[in-house]
Amino acid sequence: MNTSPSRRTALQAVGATAVAGYVAGFAGTARAAAPNAAETEPAGDRVVVHPPLPSVPTNSAFTVRVRPVGGTWQTLAVHLVRLALINPVTGGNQAQSSSLAAFDFSGAVEVEVTYNRGGGENIRVRPDSYGITPEVLGGTARFTLDRPRNLVVQVDDRIFDCLHLLANPIEQDPPAEGDHRVMHFGPGLHTHPDRTLRVPSGTTVHLAAGAVLTSAVVFEGVENARLTGRGVIYNTPGGAVFVRDCENVTIDGVTILNPRYENVRVAESRNLTIRSLRAFSHQGWGDGIQLYCSENVTIDDCFLRTSGDSIALYTHRWDFYGDTRNITVRNSTLWADVAHPINIGVHGNPDPDAPEVLENLRYENIDILDHREPQVLYQGAIAFMVGDGNLVRNVRFDDIRVEDFRQGQLVHMRITNNPKWNTTPGRGIENVYFRNLSYTGTNADLSLIAGLDADRVIRDVTFENLLVNGRVIADSTGKPNWYLASDGVPMFVNEHVRDLRFLTTAEAAGQ
């Protein structure tokens, strides 16, 4: 698939430099490594423990053991994860230490987590929606899993000194080493001189459990290619995965640690699947997944803890051009130590003769664990900041659970012309439906829905069964008639918003 020349006639020099820097000198091939040790035929209660990750430091804060129910305990390797803590006074970013462990299983498994630094009487397993209440005794927690989960085990409410536990299904039919269509990386450290791996069409890159790849993985101008496995992409000098001008690319199962910039960037591509991606970042601009000018993308079962937006959808930037549409994000857990878990619409094409659209966007069954953003103009666990001529329309959120976050807003929807990022305002936001959005907590600042002027409005926004600390917020329930429903959120709505509704589920069904 090639982008038409007309979409690139407005190439900006700064954009060309930025993209060129991302993939400069990218050339390299993978060498076959040791066979993948993962099991392929799960039967009953079974556990597969991953080999330790070479060159990734360990962390002694936690001891983690797992076993099939009633079986023999096995101890997991626990590795160091770096996370971001921004000082809002100085702007400095001091990396914080955290922990990561992973294993595969089938059936049911018992998990034992011990915090080794004292205390630990209060141990919480998140997301809260999973309903996992551990048995806790003397800093040790035990619980049972009957399905794969991405979990955070949080001790005494510590934000950073916690355990991220990736409990995977056992791999089914992993690609075979020696297949000419497979770049296979077995357990061990894999480094290219130029720190880049380019993937041809029709090729699978497979990172077995225990594999550590320190090269960026680049899909450019290819089709029918894959990046799979239980291995790790670690410490890349730029972004970790770059997909551009591609068709039918799948990213499935890998974990990204400590990229210099974003974890995954996708541009001008179609028919992509990003599944079971786990990504952790601490440096500036450490977004989880950025999508530009792409169509027909599914993001499923991901865990993203990021030092930038967890998932950001844009149109034009640099030399990327085109609309973004038919995007589905589902069954995922998002934690933004900086910026937004969900961000939509900042970057677009300011040329009035070539405006772009973001449309048909779906977010389903998502847990948002945290949001911390001191800057008022950049807040929002769910954020629309629509600039540069963008029009955002036909967006639906179903079953979004927002746990209490450190600092920010629940919802931020705004038509903007931010001089830091935009040269023109956005055109509008239309037809947004929130069904079963819940927030439980006390730290949320005033939410915001604001059009820009009479020509750049937000219209047709509906909240069905909006729950704030267990209370349904609706136009018809539980308030004096001189209050607005939005007062119960609380939320500021300006005069350039049209057809905003707050409904109960029964009212929505009776429409």
Task: Give me the CATH number covering residue 156.
Answer: 2.60.350.10
Q: What is the pLDDT of residues 301-325, one digit of tens each?
A: 999 999 999 999 999 999 999 999 9
Q: What CA–CA distances, in Å, run from 280 to 55, 100, 359?
A: 16, 10, 28
Mean pLDDT of 391-403: 98
Q: How confident is the model at residue 6 (pLDDT cuts 50, 70, 90)?
A: very low
Q: What is the pLDDT of residues 338-358, one digit of tens each?
A: 999 999 999 999 999 999 999
Tell me how far apart the alpha carbons of residues 441 and 392 are, in angstroms, rounded to a whole number.
Answer: 29
Cβ-based neighbour number of residue 294 at 10 Å: 27
Q: What is the pLDDT of residue 392?
A: 99
DSSP helix, strand, coil percent of the chain (3-state; round to 5): 5, 50, 45
User: 359 - beta bridge partners?
Assistant: 325, 393
Tell me how far apart the alpha carbons of residues 370 and 161 are, in angstroms, rounded to a whole number.
Answer: 15
Q: What is the pLDDT of residues 146-198, one digit of tens each?
A: 999 999 999 999 999 999 999 999 999 999 888 999 999 999 999 988 999 99
Above 50 in pLDDT, residue 291?
A: yes
Q: How confident is the model at residue 31 (pLDDT cuts 50, 70, 90)?
A: very low
Contact (CB, 8 A) for 342 and 385 = no
List of residues 6+ apart from 131 with CB closer than 8 A: none
Contact (CB, 8 A) for 63 and 78 = yes
- Predicted TM-score (pTM) of this structure: 0.92
Q: What's the N-to-C CA distance of the chain in angstroms?
A: 43
Q: How confident is the model at residue 234 (pLDDT cuts 50, 70, 90)?
A: very high
List of residues 6+ apart from 373 with CB closer than 8 A: 336, 338, 339, 340, 379, 380, 407, 408
> Which is more confident, 325 or 27?
325
Q: Which two tokens stand for residue 57?
A: 């430091």
User: 384 - beta bridge partners?
Assistant: 344, 413
Tell me how far apart the alpha carbons of residues 199 and 222 are, in angstroms, rounded to a whole number.
Answer: 8
Mean pLDDT of 5-26: 35
For residue 344, being part of any structural domain is answered with yes
Displacement of CA 262 from its chain's centroid (Å): 11
**Domain residue limits at 448:** 311-511
State phi, psi for 121 to the nearest 5 degrees: -75, -25
* Average pLDDT for the chain: 92
Give the H or E element holding residue 136: strand 135-137
Q: What CA–CA distances, in Å, run from 411 to 35, 378, 486?
A: 47, 11, 11
* Token pair 């969900």: residue: 342
Contact (CB, 8 A) for 240 and 285 = no
Q: What is the pLDDT of residues 98-135, one digit of tens each?
A: 999 999 999 999 999 999 999 888 999 999 999 999 99
Residue type at 472 in one-letter notation: V
Which of 103, 136, 169 finishes a domain? Answer: 169
Above 50 in pLDDT, residue 64?
A: yes
DSSP string, 140-200: EEEEEESS-EEEEEEETT-SSS-EEEEEEEPP-SPPPTT-TTEEEE-SEEE--TTSEEE--
Q: What is the pLDDT of residue 43?
A: 56
For residue 55, being part of any structural domain is answered with yes
Residues in the chain: 511
Question: Coil, strand or helix: which one is 290?
Answer: strand
Q: What is the pLDDT of residue 177?
A: 85
For residue 280, being part of any structural domain is answered with no
Tell me how far apart the alpha carbons of residues 161 and 182 are, in angstroms, rounded to a whole number.
Answer: 38
Q: What is the pLDDT of residue 375?
A: 93
* Percentage of the chain modeled with pLDDT above 70: 92
Q: What is the pLDDT of residue 185?
A: 97
> Which is more confident, 480 or 232?
232
Mean pLDDT of 247-256: 98
The domain total for the chain is 2
Closest CA to 207 of 7, 16, 38, 411: 38
Which of 150, 169, 188 finishes a domain? Answer: 169
Q: What is the pLDDT of residues 440-460, one digit of tens each?
A: 999 999 999 999 999 999 999
Q: What is the pLDDT of residue 264?
A: 98
Q: How confident is the model at residue 395 (pLDDT cuts 50, 70, 90)?
A: very high
For residue 456, being part of any structural domain is answered with yes
Q: What is the pLDDT of residue 456?
A: 98
Closest CA to 270 of 250, 294, 293: 294
For residue 106, being part of any structural domain is answered with yes
Tell me how far apart the alpha carbons of residues 174 and 490 are, in angstroms, rounded to a whole number.
Answer: 50
Question: Helix and strand tally (H, E) in the chain?
Answer: 2, 44
For residue 224, being part of any structural domain is answered with no
For residue 65, being part of any structural domain is answered with yes
* Token pair 């720190």: residue: 195
For residue 21, being part of any structural domain is answered with no
* Percentage of the chain modeled with pLDDT above 90: 87
Which of 142, 169, 196 finishes a domain? Answer: 169
